[in-house]
Amino acid sequence: MINFIGIIAAILTTSAFLPQAIMTIKTRDTEGLSLPMYVIMACGNLLWLFYGLLSKSIPVTLANAVTVCFVGIILIFKILDVKEGKK
């Protein structure tokens, strides 16, 4: 039961980033996104991913592996926009 709750929580929190990742890829618009927020989020998710791997927690590992991908995509687009002088 505990792993089931963890898996449901992982699906919900991970899927929360999917609409933003899709919109960012489609529009290439990151003007309304905060670079510091996504840097902090990416670092936090990476640490959670390592925690999940070390503790052998499948829900934590899977959720954060997928979230790191979504957040990473958004972060890359944001960094490219900042480098190009876009806000």
pLDDT tens-place string over residues 20-47: 999 999 998 998 999 999 999 999 999 9
Q: Please state, in angstroms and rounded to a whole number, the distance separating the CA atoms of residues 58 and 6.
A: 9
Position 87 scores a pLDDT of 60
Delimit the domains of the chain by residue range: 2-83
- pLDDT (average), residues 47-67: 93
- Report residue 47 as tokens: 């640490």
Q: Which CATH architecture has domain 2-83?
A: Up-down Bundle (1.20)
Q: Say whether pTM exceeds 0.85.
A: no
- Report residue 1 as tokens: 């039961």
Residues of the chain with pLDDT > 70: what percent? 98
